[in-house]
Chains A and B, each alone.
Chain A
Amino acid sequence: MQRIVVIGNGMVGHKFCDLFARHPRRGDFRLTVFGEERRPAYDRVHLSAYFADRDADKLALATRAWYADRDIELRTGELVTELDPERRILRTHLGHEMTYDYLVLATGSVPFVPPVPGKDKSGVFVYRTIEDLDAILDYAARLRQLPGARATVMGGGLLGLEAARATLDMGLATDVVEFAPRLMPRQLDEGGAASLRTTLEGLGLKIHLSRSTTAIGGNGCITHLDFADGTQLETDLLIISAGIRPRDELARKSGIAVGPRGGIVADRHMRTSAPDVFVIGEAALYRDMIYGLVAPGYEMARVALSTLMRDADPACMPESIDLSTKLKLIGTDVASFGDCLPQPGTARSIVYRDEAGGVYKRINVSPDGRRLLGGILVGDAADYNRLHQIYRNQLALPPQPQDLILGSRGSGGGDAGAGISELPEAAVICSCENITKGQLCGHLEAEQAHSVKDLIACTGAGTGCGGCKPILSDLVEQHLKARGKVVRHLLCEHFPHTRQELRDLIVLRQLRTYDEALDELGRGHGCEVCRPALAGIFATVYAETANPQAVIQDTNDRFLANIQRNGTYSVVPRVPAGEITPDKLIAIGAVAKKFGLYTKITGGQRIDLFGARLDQLPPIWEELIAAGFESGHAYGKSLRTVKSCVGSTWCRYGMDESVSFAIEIEERYKGLRSPHKLKGGVSGCIRECAEARGKDFGLIAVEEGYNLYVCGNGGARPKHAVLLAGPIDRRTAVRYLDRFLMFYLRTAGPLVRTAKWLETMEGGIDYLRSVVMDDVLGIAAELETEMQGLVNGYRCEWKEVIEDPEMRARFRPFVNTDDTEELEFVPLRDQQMPKPW
């Protein structure tokens, strides 16, 4: 049996092992891997994620067990120091020797540190390994006690900007120093870099361009940088991110050819000058270039393995390597592909710039306007996948190439899939795993795959950076459409219907329970997706609370409270519009004190009581109800709060009594179950203190009445609500709200919030306006009647429980004993919290 040795256990070295383990002839070889770092391979692309939680396991690409299971010997913490290619023998720093038949150098790179005096001072770091990040975090933690502590990143490239985000997140004022006259000089042109700069400065970063650092100053610890122009910058921490240098010293020492500026010379099969020695990844010099991206590195691993294994049709490296990248930078997207900075005269460029929105798009088209050569996207990279595929596959361009970046000017994308059908079979969809459209379609046509999930499982596509997942989804939709199947977003394997169809069927057949619906419309026993979805439909059709069919409710609805980290619950009584009397405040305080609950003011102008055991919920509700409270439905996909500002009642700017109106609206829609949670807001003037435009519906008082905004939200994907109508009087506002909400309740998919619902609505806000205001569907009266029925049918579901002994039994923690749960809490600022995970 022959032996392969891989030196280096980084991302590319690991990819080689992964491909090896799946190779049909792997049984002919033994594989040994040496890694210099202590840890097995981890994901360096997402290294900055480590700053969030210091969880190295999340970055791991494989465990020791993974290697052991595949019979690959992994020797970490062992550095290969000598190599004799003639005798095919290597020696490690521990003095161990090993012979090989094939050797793969995957030694990677080290950060380049410019020869500036003072680079050894404490507080100066590079950004490459988990150990580097640990050192930065520890140092920054000490600095935080120093008022006004500052951090500086040397290098305004991709990695440098990621590092800058990290130090900013650590609470340090951050400067970025770049030698070139613009940020990301290798990927961006001046316009793109300027747009990026404006966005980053808006986030609080200070950017210094065209600065050459001549010295790192300080007595022991860094205190400042000196620049060539005589200026200085004070800083307490410096991260150097000025590029990489290939690790070629082992090859150089053993007589293997290296380039004049470093890098181990490789041919098209990733062979070095020594027999049976290969090089892959950032250590390799291929066509006079070092490639610091992971996709070309993976390709090298594939080519080297294929050559080494003597595959019938061995792979070789392409003539030109695609350096396209799409990045999520600090709060913005940046992408570049193909020839992004063409020589003058070789291309026509089309530029779109929106300075206010921080968006810059440029495409470079061949002089005859027929081919896409490359481009840059800053601020909005939604077009990247489509443009990248057009570029890679040299697809024909539309007669007006500017449509590529200005296109889909109607509402909501929708045509994302249009380009997919034109792609040739050989088009590489997943560049990390090198999977073509042909391979993916093959799985779909052979019926081995029916969904994106299946495609990922069959081919491994999408398991690298994940950027191709939207295309996978388009491919699946296209495939289904091409077979005449209507693409519908079916609820789950138990109900072959969309939510809207199910709702219509339930109304039509007057089905009352989940079991009836499953018998008549579905199959099997249901699941955690369809049960709550149907519970929501019953609630909006029959004004049913979560109690009669408790077992189909999502877990929080079943217990009418929000489950928290240690399995206890939090309780939120309704405080309409946030207005509360002193007596009621005292009552809440008394309940919290009695049951030992942690209290906190919520974002929705209410008070949350945390740490209640399951068995304590009914007695807590009993006391709250006695004090005049009712359920706040904080646990449900339902109306949460209508936030208000104090309005003309007290405010000298108020145009109307926004609190009274907010209370009226919250009382009207309280308990209303919906496809997703619903939040509202009412502001007394355009200063908008109630943040009504960040809600699913918002009312803002103006001179002549109210403006009604709809379909906004905060959270992970913030969206401002858009104007539906106004100015209108209060009565009209309520009528429009009735229609709008009921239309949403009827037609939205499960867990689709209003903003997303509007985004995918054909015709967009204009259509919604025509339904709500002009009644083009002729259903306005029906919608209002249905809503009135739900309003009339409101009951407090906490009250239902405390009045019914059978329902109360649901809150017994154990069937066979009266024991209560044993929970551990730790003290926190005069209150208590669950002990950490």
Chain B
Amino acid sequence: MTAYQTILPEQVTTWFRAGHTHQFPAGAGATVKYGNRQIAVFYFHRNRRWYACQNLCPHKLENVLGRGLIGEQDGIPKVACPLHKRTFSLETGENLNGDCPPVAVYPVRVEGEDVYIGFAD
């Protein structure tokens, strides 16, 4: 868990190229690897917004969030863990329906057809 820390856009030192836009499904998530870390990337195609968070669900510590259903709750974009349906805000990382610790979220930038995730290391 300590490997994952939320990064704000102003903290980014490395923009890591995660892939080509068409490699990411519209309206769902996919997973990328950054060193030993697994990052889930989500594309909300209806408003063309991208989000990224740790793939590790803090509830049972399994690498599964990238396979969860996405959606929104009161305007907050979220992902639901496929194992026990804990939902996490993709803006702040907080657990929206329980008292799990938050997930780390990362900024995403799209340039042309390339998707980049921001890290501070």
Residues of chain A at the chain B interface (Cβ within 8 Å)? 493-494, 514-515, 518, 524-532, 550-552, 554-556, 558-559, 563, 565-567, 614, 810, 813-817, 819, 821, 837
- Known contacts A815-B19, A815-B23; decide if A563 and B67 are in contact (CB<8 Å): yes
Which residues from A are CB-within-8-Å of B46? 515, 518, 525
- Interface contact A525-B31, CB-CB below 8 Å: no
Question: What is the distance, in angstroms, from B118's C-beta to the closest C-beta of chain A?
Answer: 15
Residue of B nearest to A812 (CB): B30
Q: Which bucket holds chain B's interface residue count?
A: 35 or more
- Interface contact B71-A525, CB-CB below 8 Å: yes
Question: What is the distance, in angstroms, from B35's C-beta to the closest C-beta of chain A?
Answer: 11
Q: Which of B2-10, B79-87, B102-110 makes up part of the contact surface?
A: B79-87
From A518, A528, A566, contact of B69 by CB (8 A): A528
When each residue 5-43 of chain B gets 1 if its CB lies under 8 Å from chain A and 0 otherwise, what string results?
000000000000111000111111011110000100100
Which residues from A are CB-within-8-Å of B71? 494, 525-531
Which residues from B are CB-within-8-Å of A837? 60-61
From B25, B38, B64, B83, contact of A551 by CB (8 A): B25
Closest 3 CB pairs of A and B: A527-B71, A555-B82, A551-B28
- Interface contact B31-A493, CB-CB below 8 Å: no
- Known contacts A527-B73, A566-B62; decide if A558 and B67 are in contact (CB<8 Å): yes
Alpha-carbon distance A554/B85, docked complex (angstroms): 11
Question: What is the distance, in angstroms, from B61's C-beta to the closest C-beta of chain A?
Answer: 8
Alpha-carbon distance A558/B18, docked complex (angstroms): 23
Question: What is the distance, in angstroms, from A684's C-beta to the closest C-beta of chain B?
Answer: 40
Alpha-carbon distance A513/B17, docked complex (angstroms): 32
- Interface contact B64-A524, CB-CB below 8 Å: no
Alpha-carbon distance A525/B83, docked complex (angstroms): 22
Residue of A nearest to B36 (CB): A822
Which residues from A are CB-within-8-Å of B58? none
- Interface contact A819-B82, CB-CB below 8 Å: no
Question: What is the distance, in angstroms, from B22's C-beta to the closest C-beta of chain A?
Answer: 10
- Interface contact B80-A551, CB-CB below 8 Å: no
B92 at the interface (CB under 8 A from A): no
Question: What is the distance, in angstroms, from B42's C-beta to the closest C-beta of chain A?
Answer: 10
Alpha-carbon distance A815/B71, docked complex (angstroms): 21
Residue of B nearest to A553 (CB): B69
- Interface contact A815-B69, CB-CB below 8 Å: no
Which residues from B are CB-within-8-Å of A813? 31
Alpha-carbon distance A530/B44, docked complex (angstroms): 16
Residue of B nearest to A819 (CB): B33
- Interface contact A567-B62, CB-CB below 8 Å: yes
Which residues from B are CB-within-8-Å of A532? 69
Other than A526-B71, A528-B68, A614-B67, give 14 A-B pairs with Cβ distance below 8 A: A515-B27, A525-B46, A528-B87, A532-B69, A551-B25, A551-B26, A551-B27, A567-B67, A814-B33, A814-B38, A815-B30, A815-B31, A815-B41, A821-B63
Which residues from B are CB-within-8-Å of A567? 62-64, 67, 83
- Interface contact A555-B69, CB-CB below 8 Å: yes
Question: What is the distance, in angstroms, from B84's C-beta to the closest C-beta of chain A?
Answer: 11
Which residues from B are CB-within-8-Å of A816? 17-19, 32-33
Which residues from B are CB-within-8-Å of A810? 25
- Interface contact A552-B32, CB-CB below 8 Å: no
- Known contacts A550-B25, A814-B33, A815-B19; decide if A525 and B47 are in contact (CB<8 Å): yes
- Interface contact B44-A563, CB-CB below 8 Å: no
- Known contacts A555-B67, A555-B69; decide if A814 and B25 are in contact (CB<8 Å): no
Classify the secondary structure of A's interface with B: loop
Alpha-carbon distance A206/B117, docked complex (angstroms): 65
Residue of B nearest to A554 (CB): B69
Which residues from A are CB-within-8-Å of B18? 815-816
Residue of B nearest to A518 (CB): B46
Alpha-carbon distance A559/B85, docked complex (angstroms): 16
26 A-B interface contacts by CB (under 8 A): A494-B71, A525-B77, A526-B71, A526-B72, A527-B69, A528-B69, A528-B71, A528-B87, A550-B28, A551-B25, A552-B69, A554-B69, A555-B67, A555-B82, A558-B67, A559-B67, A563-B67, A563-B82, A566-B62, A567-B63, A614-B67, A814-B32, A815-B18, A815-B32, A817-B32, A837-B61
Which residues from A are CB-within-8-Å of B60? 565, 837
Alpha-carbon distance A515/B24, docked complex (angstroms): 18
- Interface contact B47-A528, CB-CB below 8 Å: no
Which residues from B are CB-within-8-Å of A556? 82
Which residues from A are CB-within-8-Å of B69? 527-528, 531-532, 552, 554-555
Residue of B nearest to A524 (CB): B72
- Interface contact A563-B64, CB-CB below 8 Å: yes
Question: What is the distance, in angstroms, from A129's C-beta to the closest C-beta of chain B?
Answer: 25
When each residue 74-114 of chain B gets 1 if its CB lies under 8 Å from chain A and 0 otherwise, what string results?
11011010110101000000000000000000000000000
Alpha-carbon distance A524/B31, docked complex (angstroms): 25
Which residues from B are CB-within-8-Å of A563? 64, 67, 82-83
Question: What is the distance, in angstroms, from A241's C-beta to the closest C-beta of chain B?
Answer: 33
Alpha-carbon distance A345/B45, docked complex (angstroms): 75
Which residues from A are CB-within-8-Å of B75? 524
- Interface contact B72-A525, CB-CB below 8 Å: yes
Alpha-carbon distance A208/B46, docked complex (angstroms): 68
Alpha-carbon distance A526/B45, docked complex (angstroms): 12
- Interface contact B19-A528, CB-CB below 8 Å: no
Residue of A nearest to B16 (CB): A816
Which residues from B are CB-within-8-Å of A524? 72, 75
- Known contacts A566-B62, A814-B31, A815-B19; decide if A528 and B80 are in contact (CB<8 Å): yes
Which residues from A are CB-within-8-Å of B73? 493, 527
Question: What is the distance, in angstroms, from B21's C-beta to the closest C-beta of chain A?
Answer: 11
Residue of A nearest to B28 (CB): A551
Question: What is the distance, in angstroms, from B112's C-beta to the closest C-beta of chain A?
Answer: 17
Determine which residue in B27, B71, B85 has the highest number of CB atoms from chain A within 10 A of its CB, and name it: B71
Which residues from A are CB-within-8-Å of B25? 550-551, 810
Alpha-carbon distance A528/B81, docked complex (angstroms): 10
Which residues from A are CB-within-8-Å of B74? 493
Alpha-carbon distance A176/B65, docked complex (angstroms): 49
Alpha-carbon distance A528/B17, docked complex (angstroms): 29
Residue of A nearest to B23 (CB): A815
Question: What is the distance, in angstroms, from A531's C-beta to the closest C-beta of chain B?
Answer: 6
Which residues from A are CB-within-8-Å of B83? 563, 565, 567
Question: What is the distance, in angstroms, from A822's C-beta to the closest C-beta of chain B?
Answer: 9
Question: What is the distance, in angstroms, from B77's C-beta to the closest C-beta of chain A?
Answer: 7
Residue of B nearest to A821 (CB): B63
Alpha-carbon distance A558/B82, docked complex (angstroms): 11
Determine which residue in A524, A528, A819 has the highest number of CB atoms from chain B within 10 A of its CB, and name it: A528
Alpha-carbon distance A518/B32, docked complex (angstroms): 29
Which residues from A are CB-within-8-Å of B47? 525
Question: What is the distance, in angstroms, from A837's C-beta to the closest C-beta of chain B?
Answer: 5
Alpha-carbon distance A567/B47, docked complex (angstroms): 30
Alpha-carbon distance A514/B73, docked complex (angstroms): 18
Alpha-carbon distance A133/B24, docked complex (angstroms): 51
Which residues from B are CB-within-8-Å of A528? 68-71, 80, 85, 87
- Interface contact A552-B23, CB-CB below 8 Å: no
Alpha-carbon distance A821/B64, docked complex (angstroms): 11
Which residues from A are CB-within-8-Å of B17? 816
Residue of A nearest to B26 (CB): A551
